[in-house]
Amino acid sequence: MAENQTDTTNTQEIIPFVAELTAHNQAWVSGATQALGESTIIVPREFIVDVCSTLKHGYQFNLLSDLCGADRGVEEDPRFEVNYHLTSIKTGKRLRLKVLLTEDDPHVNTVTDVWKTANWHERETYDLVGIIFDNHPDLRRILLPSDWDGHALRKDYPLRGYEPYSLT
């Protein structure tokens, strides 16, 4: 195997794992893919806290490496997605959870009770993409000034912003 080709030993093998997860509750997994050596599970947004809690306590995914939101496109439906990148420090396995959200209801429950590090990541996602995390202890902007209008990473937000670019 060439040295930089994808090594699947460090990602959770998806099909048996999905079977285990759905044994807890059939509705937890609405899709699963494995590509480029990485496993992705699509979770409906109502169950994200349960799934995360089970993964942390039952399957040793104790580190939330990253939580990032993305705008899939103005015309897409569902428009937004939130990606949770989980890592297990003991076994070294990685897993991605994905929650898809529509434009008119971009709410999802916070996972701050499961991993404290989600606090800042969710604030950043709220700030830049505009996804609202319900029951977050402190949901306010983190990178942009607190009186900023709009969510800068959305696809319909212009690159140069709205304020006129003036040289004086």
Tokens of residue 66, six digits: 């990253």
Beta strand 63-71 pairing with 80-87: antiparallel
Question: Tokens at residue 26, please?
Answer: 């059939």
When the beta carbons of 46 and 66 are compared against another protein, the nearer one is 66
Nearest to 36 by CA among 82, 84, 96, 76: 96
Closest CA to 62 of 38, 98, 93, 33: 93
CB of 23 to another protein, least distance (A): 26
The answer to whether the beta carbons of residues 97 and 39 sit under 8 Å apart is no
Choose between 24 and 72: whose C-beta lies nearer to another protein.
Answer: 72
* Site for another protein, rule CB under 8 A: 2-6, 10, 35-38, 40, 62-66, 68, 70-72, 83, 85, 87, 89, 92, 94, 96, 115-117, 119-121, 124, 128, 141-145, 152-153, 157, 159
**Which token pair is 21?**
């997860």
Least CB distance to another protein at residue 94 (A): 7
Q: Could you give the angle at the alpha carbon of 21 between the alpha carbons of 103 and 69, nearest 5°?
A: 25
Minimal distance, residue 88 CB to another protein, in Å: 10
Tokens of 92: 């070294």
User: 4 vs 26, which CB is nearer to another protein?
Assistant: 4
Specify the residue, 30 or 87, whose C-beta has the smaller distance to another protein: 87
Q: How far is the CB of 50 from another protein (least distance, A)?
A: 19
Query: Residue 109 Cβ, how far from another protein at the closest point, in Å?
Result: 18
Specify the DSSP element, H or E, that contains 78. none
